[in-house]
Structure formats: C-alpha cells, structure tokens
Structure 1
Amino acid sequence: MDVNLTLVVVAGALVGCGAYLLLERSLTRVLVGLVLLSNGVNVAILATSGRAGEAPFYGSADVDDMSDPLPQAMVLTAIVITLGTIAFLLAMAHRNWQLAGHDDVQDDTEDARIRRLAVDDATSDSYDMTADRDDEDDYREDG
C-alpha cells in the first residue's frame, strides 16, 4: 500500500497544532484546536485508507478497482460528531463571554487548594526527603 507522504505530513502538522491549541485557556483557541485536530485525524484516516478507486457500487466496476467505503464513512461520521462538539463549545464560550466578559477558562478552586497544600507540605520543616519507602509503608499500615 502506498501512502502519500505529503498527506501524512499535513495530518501530523494539523494534529500537532490542534493539540497545542487545545491546551490553551481561551475557549476560542480550544475551538480552533478542536477543528484542526479533527481535520488532521480525518486526513490521516483518508491517507492511510489506500488509493482512490472507482465508486463502490455493486456491479459498476471490478472489486479490486473499487475504493474502500469504510474510511469514508468513518470520516463522515467524525465530521458530524465534530460539528456537534464545536456547536456545544461555541455555545459555552458565548455564555462565558456573556457572564464574565471573556472566554478564558478559570482555575478550579479545589485544584488550587490542593496545589497550595502540597507546596506548604513540601516546604515545611517536617518534610523529609531522605525517608525510606519502607518507613512510609509501615506508617500507612499502622495509620
């Protein structure tokens, strides 16, 4: 099976840029990242599905000359699912813009509290970096 190297590079670039944008705080950038990621995956599916051939209708061509319809159906389904996800994310960004005046995702207060407790514990005088793992296991069994 021959795979077009250009399509593989394009798919990799789209997935990479999409993954980078998904890690941003702005919901608009997350939205663009989702679009890029889904398009990259769709291009990758079509690039690895094999060569283009005749339309896969019964009796229209020889079976060996037909293209495989399964990857095309998977990409079509992925497009519909992505459209629904994008609509939901767009509605969420719009609502956040109405309520807060921006579309940035805020930190979770519980995560911030746990992070602050971990830093306080690591910088306290009772924190011992040289403790054996066996001592910690014995402490867990007793406690």
Structure 2
Amino acid sequence: MQLTLRDDLILTQVTVVYRGQEVEVSDLVVDTGSATTMLSTDVVAQIGIVPELHDVLHVIRGVGGTEVVFSRRVDRLQVGPRAVEQFEIEVGGIDAAFDINGILGLDFLLQTAAIIDLGTLRLDFSPGDGEGGENGAEHQ
C-alpha cells in the first residue's frame, strides 16, 4: 500500500468498523515510536465511538505533548488488505497544530507483521497472518 509523505510525516489511511458501521480515516501518521494506535475523537464519532460513563480515561505522553484518551475495542481495523479483528484503539483529541486524524502505532504494525519501505514509501505485510494469528488476516 502506498504511503504519503507530508511535512516530514509518513501518512496512511485505515478503515474502522464498529458495531457494524464503517468509516475511512485518512491522514494517520505511521509511528513506530508510538506503542498504541490512536484515532481522533471527531472522526470516530461518525460511527458511534464516543465516551461512555464506564470508560476509564488515560493520560498518554509523547513528543507532541500530553493527551487524555479512552480505549475502545473496534470490530476491525484495516490498512490496505490487512485487518485485525477486535482491535483496541485509543481515542482522543489531536493537537490542532498537526493536520492528522491519528496515529497508526506499533501495536498494529507488529501484529500484522508490517514492512515499512522508506525508499518506495510503501507499507506491505509479510505473507501469512503475522504475529496476530487469525486476527491479522487478509480482507478483500
């Protein structure tokens, strides 16, 4: 899958499925330095991912600062042909200084045996299911 380089950030897009609803999310930073995948509250609210009373809030810290997030398990997170079922994401606000909708973190990249080729700006996946077993399956 082709990646995009913008403002020195490597970007991709994902498909998120939650409770049978689907949304395409563009402009996610591919970030091997981020342990988890995080999506913008504004984008995932379109498919009903909103804070609920039972959600536990977490504070995460990174180069961009500190964010308060909640976790949600989605039915599927898909990048190109590779998808992970029942994948847990972090949901929170994204600093307006960055024109992005989230971060594709190491959790997804490892589980899907992702291969990032910086020479060609491509994101590919090792044959088979990667470390995720059946959760790192190819979807058509």
* Fold shared, TM-score > 0.5 on shorter chain: no
Structure of higher CA gyration radius: 1
TM-score (norm 2): 0.24
TM-score (norm 1): 0.23
Q: Which has the higher contact order (CA 8 A, sep 6+)?
A: 2
Richer in helix (by share): 1
